[in-house]
């Protein structure tokens, strides 16, 4: 046999193997393509119908829904029942999964659909009782408001029924393995109560100081107070005499972001180019996909209003109608108190009050668990509120903490919202505010008649004793609430001489104001910057307002960097060449947190590490999460040291020089680790980016599906007007103004708006992430209420009554 034949015989099997590999590869690729196509078609099937005609049972006449080129639905109906029915239907089209998750979270029902990992969180929200509060609130609403709630719920349910029948529910329900149940008016009110929680009060700060009272001296404890507490020695001793290990419970609670707040301002016609008021508003809440805000225009014979609302709630909470415009920021008053309760050692359901044992109300709250047994759970409610210190364990200690909170009482915020939507002037708007109880908000207002106004509105308790800085004894009547600040004495301003009003969660009352609001205010930098800009020009335009909402000037850095750099430069502690290079960069910095600069990267880490050097040895991480007002307290420690009054925390940490240098070097090392050893190449935007995470994106590989865009760079920070608070380790921007709006009352038919990341919750929708670029670059779209303008490049859906 020739060698040629032998070679061929040897090659043939190899060729067959290659053919087999190639064929296998082709089959895999074809299967992958087929899977992608099937997945795409499955996703596409659940895209909401936004054009054409649809028959819907429950409406009395046809309703037009015109989505403009930004996905904003303009809903036009002939009566209010059909209007709010359509609002429920349309919002569910875009946001049903978000709505369902929101009501379940607030109600403590996530374990039922997600699993046992969320049992403790559900116990917490069952203990708070937001849904119970919603139920008692419902009874206080007018028949008209109840009718709106029911019409909205009927619209949501019409969409749910339609989607179930057509098998077109949002894909998230399939992935989570459940279907939504019927919507009810109580669901809408429960979401409203959750927003009160999100903007709630200061009880975590009370819990923090309670813990620290057990672990540090009086001198060190008092430096951690926003101000010296009334009856300080007495209440501190009461905390020490009745300890509760909150690390097992309260420290694990899912507290709202401390930076929840907002900016708003209004300029009078005297100071505006148009000769009419200009109003700006940008509420700061969690950033996610979809947005917490849903922009909508509602029009019937009785109402014509445009703005935003929380998905799952009827009406418009922030916006404008044909006569007025309004916006809010959070007041942040002390509306939550922790009471130290003495439990009867012989009866765990009794608590001492005025020398007697009182029976607590016991509420059964069984928790259903997906793929598991229902967990029996009881909530104890004392005269001061639910026992909050035991939700993670069943052991009944002789001392417990109860939570008193305005939002757990009946309240009627939606009544106020519906009245806002139809108000024509300040008198009518102010009357509507009598129904808005919680959360207390700073309202700014403007009207076509030229009026501008401000009001801090809501229920703010008056206490017999104490200032809500620490938990107080619950076995005596010494610390009871005696009512609320009288409505006609709440801080109010109308048509001030300055020609403008602004708020940014700052201190709103002068020292001589006779009532306690809070001692814990936001850092003053956003408010100061707004005031500086509004004062700097005699005439302001809407474009000035748009620019100011995206302003990234860092007044905290401007206050502290010169002093801190001087401390570092004069330190005897040896500085490396890279440290000296960073110092030179700081000396040339103009204190703007812009994307391309490296100084913000070092500065913000420096401030974080300054606090770490002070507290990391004394405050456990889980307790540090409760440290409310930490930034303000550290700021004041630096100011005091600058003025020659070094406090005990600084002294024990080695003094201002040692703490400053050590924290500076840590910050530089952090920057090197993240972006290399060339400071000139460091970039704030490379670190500081917004991902707009979807709630299911925490599950790999669903992040690739729902987080369809890569994280996008943005300037600003938590102390700039362009609010962009971030995760200190990853740089991910998780909190800011998902809604920005500017309204020039010279033209009430339009407003400048942006909703980050977009209107729709459907990953294949044009409106899913289409506003990210605008949001991160300070651009806006115009929302019109004139049909001739908003119908351009629009999508028209007509709802017809089912025959």
Q: Give pLDDT tens digits for 311-344.
A: 999 999 999 999 999 999 999 999 999 999 999 9
Q: Are 470 and 229 in contact (CB under 8 A)?
A: yes
Tokens read off for 703: 């992040």
How is residue 292 written in tokens? 């917490």
The Cα 568–Cα 609 span in angstroms is: 14
pLDDT at residue 392, rounded to an integer: 87
Q: Strand 304-310 and strand 318-320: pairing?
A: antiparallel
Output the DSSP codes for 402-418: EEEEGGGS---HHHHHH
The answer to whether 445 and 437 are in contact (CB under 8 A) is no
Three-state DSSP class for residue 636? helix
Cα distance between residue 349 and residue 461, in whole Å: 27
Residue 491, pLDDT above cutoff 80: yes
Please enumerate in sequence order all residues whose Cβ is within 8 A of that of 529, keeping only pairs 6 or more positions apart, or say none. Answer: 551, 553, 555, 720, 721
User: How many CB atoms within 10 Å of residue 368?
Assistant: 13
pLDDT band at 27 (very low <50, low <70, confident <90, very high): low
Q: Closest by alpha carbon to 325, among 309, 305, 351, 348? A: 305
Per-residue pLDDT for 137 more than 60?
Answer: yes
Is residue 233's pLDDT more than 90? no
Confidence of residue 98 (pLDDT cuts 50, 70, 90): very high
How large a percentage of the chain has pLDDT more than 70?
Answer: 95
3-state secondary structure of 606: helix
C-alpha closest to that of 736 among 723, 752, 727, 748: 723
Structure tokens at 317: 């909470």
Give the range among 29-43, 418-432, 681-695, 772-786 with minimum mean pLDDT. Answer: 29-43
User: ω before 597 within 30° of 0 (cis)?
Assistant: no
Share of the chain above pLDDT 90, in %: 86
* Whole-Å CA distances, 255 to 145, 182, 198, 204, 244: 31, 28, 8, 8, 19
**Over 70: is that where the pLDDT of 16 sits?**
no
Residue tagged active-site, from 46, 102, 107, 262: 262
Interior/surface letters 718-740, b for 16+ CB within 10 angstroms, e for the rest: bbbbbbbbbeeeebbbbbbbbbb
Provide the residue ranges of all domains of the chain, joining segments of one domain with +.
Answer: 555-591+598-682
Q: What share of the chain is helix, strand, coil (3-state, %, to 5)?
A: 40, 20, 40
Residue with tokens 């090659």: 11
Output the pLDDT for position 691: 95
> What is the average per-residue pLDDT within 589-612?
98
* 667-702 pLDDT per residue, tens: 999 999 999 999 999 999 999 999 999 999 888 888
CA dihedral (171, 174, 179, 184) in degrees, to 10, reads -30
- Report how far residue 744's alpha carbon sits from residue 278's, in angstroms, rounded to the nearest whole number: 4
Compute the distance between CA of residue 370 and CA of residue 373 in angstroms, rounded to an integer: 8
Residue among 204, 256, 227 nearest 518 (CA): 227
Indicate if the pLDDT at residue 52 is higher than 50.
yes
CB contact at 8 A, 99 and 156 = yes
Give the integer Cα–Cα distance in Å for 211 and 623: 8
Residue 440 pLDDT > 80: yes
Full DSSP string of 181-242: ----HHHHHHHHHHHHHHT---HHHHHHHHHHHTTS-HHHHHTTSSSPPTTHHHHHHHHHHS
Give pLDDT, residue 7.
46
Give pLDDT, residue 97.
98
Q: What is the pLDDT of residue 699?
A: 83
Both structure tokens of 683: 């970039």
Residue of 266, 316, 261 whose CA lies nearest to 294: 316
Residue 511 pLDDT class (50, 70, 90 cuts) = confident
User: 780, 33 in Cβ contact below 8 A?
Assistant: no
Q: Where are the beta strands (DSSP E) in 653-700?
A: 689-690
> Under a CB-based contact definition with an 8 Å cutoff, are residues 223 and 487 in contact?
no
Dig out the tokens for 376 from the structure.
């029996």
Give me the helix-helix angle, 555-569 and 577-587, nearest 10°: 140
Known binding positions? 334, 337
Give the mean pLDDT of 462-476: 94
SS3 (DSSP) at 42: helix
Residue 498: partners with Cβ closer than 8 Å, 6 or more residues away? 535
What is the structure's pLDDT at 331? 95
Closest CA to 78 of 800, 562, 802: 800
Cβ atoms within 10 Å, residue 116 = 15
Q: Is 313 helix (H, G, I), strand (E, B) or coil?
A: coil
CA distances for 567 relative to 556, 564, 655, 657, angstroms: 17, 5, 11, 6
Which tokens hold the place of 245?
């290990």
- CA 26-29-34 angle, to 5 degrees, is 125
Listed residue (717, 711, 492, 682) closest to 593, CA to CA: 717
Summarize the annotated binding site for Ca(2+) as residue ranges.
334, 337
pLDDT at 243 > cutoff 60: yes
For residue 67, give Cα distances in angstroms to 48, 114, 452, 748, 765. 12, 33, 32, 20, 12
Residue 23 pLDDT greater than 80, yes or no: no
Average pLDDT along the chain: 94
Strands 73-76 and 293-299: parallel
Q: At what angle do helices 80-107 and 130-138 cross, to 10 degrees?
A: 150
Q: Is 262 a catalytic residue?
A: yes
Q: Dihedral through CA 32, CA 33, CA 38, CA 39, nearest 10?
A: 70
Residue 259: pLDDT band with limits 50, 70, 90: confident
Asked if pLDDT for residue 549 goes beyond 60, the answer is yes
Would you state the pLDDT for residue 309?
Answer: 98
Positive or negative, the Cα torsion across 66, 70, 73, 76? negative
391 to each of 245, 623, 710, how far by Cα in Å?
12, 17, 38
Q: Which residues contact 312 (CB under 8 A, 6 or more apart)?
A: 91, 95, 98, 99, 102, 103, 156, 187, 188, 191
d(CA 648, CA 217): 10
8-state DSSP, 710 = P
Report whether 343 contacts 351 (CB < 8 A): yes
pLDDT band, very low/low/confident/very high, at 572 (cuts 50, 70, 90): confident
Tokens of 73: 């639905």
Q: Would you say residue 2 has pLDDT above 60? A: no
Average pLDDT over residues 511-534: 95
pLDDT, residue 753, reads: 98
Q: What is the CA radius of gyration of the chain?
A: 29
C-alpha distances (whole Å) from 443 to each of 235, 440, 546 are: 35, 9, 19
Only one residue has tokens 């209440």, namely: 235
Query: Could you give the maximum distance between any two Cα atoms of the chain, in Å?
Result: 113
Token representation of residue 649: 């925390």
Class of residue 515 by CB neighbours under 10 A (exposed 0-12, middle 13-18, buried 19+): middle
In this structure, what token pair is assigned to residue 57? 């049972």
């Amino acid at each position: 046999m020739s060698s040629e034949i032998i070679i061929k015989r040897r090659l043939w099997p190899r060729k067959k193997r290659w053919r087999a590999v190639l064929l296998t590869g082709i089959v895999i690729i074809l299967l992958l393509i087929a899977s992608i196509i099937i997945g795409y078609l499955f996703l596409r099937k659940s895209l909401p119908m936004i054009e054409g005609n649809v028959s819907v049972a429950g409406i009395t006449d046809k309703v037009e829904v015109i989505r403009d080129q930004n996905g904003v639905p303009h809903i036009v109906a002939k009566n209010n029942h059909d209007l709010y029915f359509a609002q429920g239907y349309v919002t569910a089209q875009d946001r049903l999964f978000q709505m369902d998750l929101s009501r379940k979270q607030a109600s403590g029902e996530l374990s039922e659909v997600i699993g046992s990992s969320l049992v403790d969180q559900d116990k917490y929200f069952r203990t708070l009782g937001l849904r119970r509060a919603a139920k008692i609130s419902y009874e206080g609403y007018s028949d008209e408001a109840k009718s709106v709630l029911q019409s909205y719920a009927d619209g949501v349910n019409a969409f749910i029924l339609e989607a179930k029948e057509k098998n077109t529910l949002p894909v998230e329900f399939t992935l989570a393995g459940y279907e939504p149940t019927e919507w009810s008016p109580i669901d809408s009110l429960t979401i409203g109560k959750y927003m009160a929680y999100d903007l709630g009060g200061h009880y975590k700060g009370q819990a923090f100081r309670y813990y620290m009272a057990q672990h540090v001296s009086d001198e060190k404890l008092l430096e951690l107070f926003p101000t010296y507490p009334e009856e300080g020695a007495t209440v501190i001793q009461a905390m020490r005499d009745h300890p509760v290990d909150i690390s097992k419970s309260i420290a694990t609670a899912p507290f709202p972001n401390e930076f929840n707040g907002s900016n708003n301002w209004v300029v009078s016609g005297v100071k505006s180019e148009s000769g009419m008021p200009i109003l700006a508003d940008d509420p700061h809440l969690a950033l996610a996909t979809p947005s917490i805000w849903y922009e909508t225009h509602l029009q019937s014979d009785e109402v014509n209003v445009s703005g935003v609302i929380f998905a799952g709630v009827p009406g418009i909470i922030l916006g404008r109608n044909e006569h007025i415009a309004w916006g809010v920021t959070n007041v942040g008053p002390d509306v939550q108190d922790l009471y130290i309760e003495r439990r009867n050692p012989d009866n765990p359901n009794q608590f001492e009050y005025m020398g007697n044992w009182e029976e607590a109300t016991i509420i059964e709250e069984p928790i259903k668990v997906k793929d598991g047994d229902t967990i029996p759970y009881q909530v104890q409610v004392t005269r001061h509120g639910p026992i909050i210190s035991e939700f993670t364990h069943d052991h009944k200690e002789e001392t417990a903490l109860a939570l008193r909170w305005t939002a757990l009482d009946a309240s009627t915020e939606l009544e106020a919202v519906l009245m806002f939507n139809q108000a024509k002037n300040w008198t009518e708007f102010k009357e509507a505010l009598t129904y808005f109880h919680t959360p207390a908000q700073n309202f700014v207002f403007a009207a076509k008649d030229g009026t501008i106004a401000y009001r801090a509105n809501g229920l703010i308790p008056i206490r017999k004793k104490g200032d809500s800085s620490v938990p107080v004894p619950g076995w005596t009547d010494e610390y009871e609430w005696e009512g609320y600040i009288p409505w006609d004495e709440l801080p109010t301003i109308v048509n001030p001489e300055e020609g403008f009003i602004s708020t940014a969660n700052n201190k709103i009352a002068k020292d001589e104001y006779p009532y306690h609001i809070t001692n814990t205010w936001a850092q003053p930098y956003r408010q100061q910057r707004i005031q500086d800009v509004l004062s700097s020009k005699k005439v302001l335009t809407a474009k000035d307002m748009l620019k100011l909402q995206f302003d990234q000037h860092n007044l905290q850095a401007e206050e502290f960097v010169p002093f801190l750099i001087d401390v570092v430069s004069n330190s005897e502690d040896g500085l490396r060449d890279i440290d000296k290079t960073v110092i030179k960069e700081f000396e040339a910095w103009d204190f703007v947190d812009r994307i391309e600069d490296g100084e913000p990267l070092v500065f913000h880490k420096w401030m974080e590490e300054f606090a770490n050097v002070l507290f990391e040895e004394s405050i456990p991480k889980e307790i540090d999460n409760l440290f409310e007002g930490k930034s303000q307290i550290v700021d004041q420690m630096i100011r005091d040291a600058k003025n020659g009054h070094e406090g005990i925390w600084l002294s024990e940490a080695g003094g201002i020089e040692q703490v400053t240098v050590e924290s500076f070097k840590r910050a530089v090392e952090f920057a090197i680790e993240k972006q290399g050893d060339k400071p000139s190449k460091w970039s704030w935007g490379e670190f500081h980016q917004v991902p707009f995470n979807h709630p299911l994106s925490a599950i790999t590989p669903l992040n690739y599906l729902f987080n369809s865009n890569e994280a996008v760079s943005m300037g600003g920070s938590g102390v700039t007007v362009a609010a962009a608070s971030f995760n200190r380790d990853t740089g991910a921007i998780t909190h800011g103004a998902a809604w920005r709006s500017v309204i020039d009352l010279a033209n009430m038919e339009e407003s400048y708006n942006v909703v980050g990341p977009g209107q729709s919750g459907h990953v294949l929708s044009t409106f899913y992430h289409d506003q990210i670029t605008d949001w991160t670059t300070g651009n806006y779209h115009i929302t019109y209420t004139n049909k001739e303008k908003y119908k351009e490049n629009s999508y028209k859906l007509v709802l017809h009554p089912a025959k």
